[in-house]
Amino acid sequence: MDLNDVAVFVRVAREKSFTRAATALGLPKSTVSERVARLEAQLGVRLLDRTTRSLRLTDAGAQYFARVDELMTDLEDAETAVTSAHKAPRGVLRVGSPLLFAQAFLAEFIPQYLEQFPDVEVELILGDRGFDLIEEGLDLAIHVVGPIEPSMIVRKLGMGERISVASPSYVAARGEPAKPSDLLQHACLVPGTSRKICWTFTRGEQSENVSVSARYAVSSVELVYRAALRGLGISVLPAFLCHDAIHEGRLVRVLPDWSAGENTIQIVFASSRHISARARAFADLLVEASAEVLRDLPRFGRVATQRH
């Protein structure tokens, strides 16, 4: 049995697409299809069900993939371990990131990364939703809020405090809350799909839960941030996203003695793929760069000091 045929099948199964697999492997789509067909013939079973619109593993294909995917990952990891120290990063790096994180960190970082690694090209995909790394063909993604699938490989960037903020014009017109429960008398802006939300605030050993009904709820942190800048109300947002606006006087921190919790800022990789030299270099440099930024924001964040 030709291991190259197995590797092609694994790539097709990971990408859920002959076209994306062919692109990733640098092979004609016809060659990819022929190699999968040859493997099926050798095994005497159909591994994939193909239609014009979809591609899925058969029961036999899923069972076979579960075994050979782990094998191919081990082989890829072994190759990466041996060659990464001597192989300069190259190729296309696809990165997913929340828009405001990209504005706060990646806008300056990515040009520096490209200058250091001239043989790498970067495609940056922005969005507040969670990213499906395999489906979207991403090498890695930045994760700020929400759950992470247990199968993902995670590397920690740091801790980001969540704080309550409003515009100076809002505070001038409506006043400033003196304690968390005062938020019930204010217009609240919520980054989510439900108008009802419970915010938890802590101050030392004190803890207070406040269930608010949002004046404006939207599943986009960026739009909530913009609404806060326009004076529509008070919101709880990651502090690093608000840092520049606070220092420029476009936002003020309300309830400054209270923390609204923390976000763990992380880089995530798909566990079914080996981590390429270009992705590993990106992660190494971003951890270093973000640590420097977070050190400059002692009131707002803590630096990641170890890998996870």
Long-range CB contact pairs, 66-69, < 8 A, 24+: 68/6, 68/9, 68/10, 69/10, 69/13, 69/14, 69/272
Q: Is the pLDDT of residue 143 over 60?
A: yes
- pLDDT exceeding 90 applies to what percent of the chain? 35
Give pLDDT tens digits for 84-140: 555 678 888 999 998 888 888 899 899 999 999 999 999 999 987 778 887 788 899
Which position has the higher pLDDT, 302 or 28? 28
Which position has the higher pLDDT, 296 or 135? 135
Give pLDDT tens digits for 271-283: 655 688 899 999 9
Q: Is the pLDDT of residue 232 over 50?
A: yes
| Class of the CATH domain delimited by 90-308 | alpha beta
Give pLDDT tens digits for 191-209: 877 788 899 999 988 999 9
Strand partners, 259: 202
Give pLDDT tens digits for 261-271: 887 888 998 86
Question: Treating both helix axes as pointing N-terminal to C-terminal, what angle do 29-43 and 3-15 enclose, rounded to 10 degrees?
Answer: 110
- Does 3-83 match 90-308 in CATH topology? no
Three-state secondary-structure class, residue 86: coil
Name the CATH code of domain 3-83 (choices 3.40.470.10, 3.40.228.10, 3.40.50.1220, 1.10.10.10). 1.10.10.10
Which position has the higher pLDDT, 150 or 183? 183
**Cα–Cα distance for residue pair 133/14, rounded to 1 Å:** 10
pLDDT reported for residue 301? 40
Domain spans in the chain, listed from the N-terminal domain onward: 3-83, 90-308
Q: Which among 21-30, 33-42, 211-220, 288-297 has the top mean pLDDT?
A: 33-42
pTM attached to this predicted model: 0.61
- Give Cβ neighbours of residue 289 (< 8 Å, ≥ 6 apart): 105, 109, 112
Half-sphere CA count of 66, side-chain side, radius 13 A: 5
**Cα–Cα distance for residue pair 173/170, rounded to 1 Å:** 5
Q: Is the pLDDT of residue 44 over 50?
A: yes
Give pLDDT tens digits for 53-94: 778 899 998 989 888 887 877 776 666 666 555 567 888 899
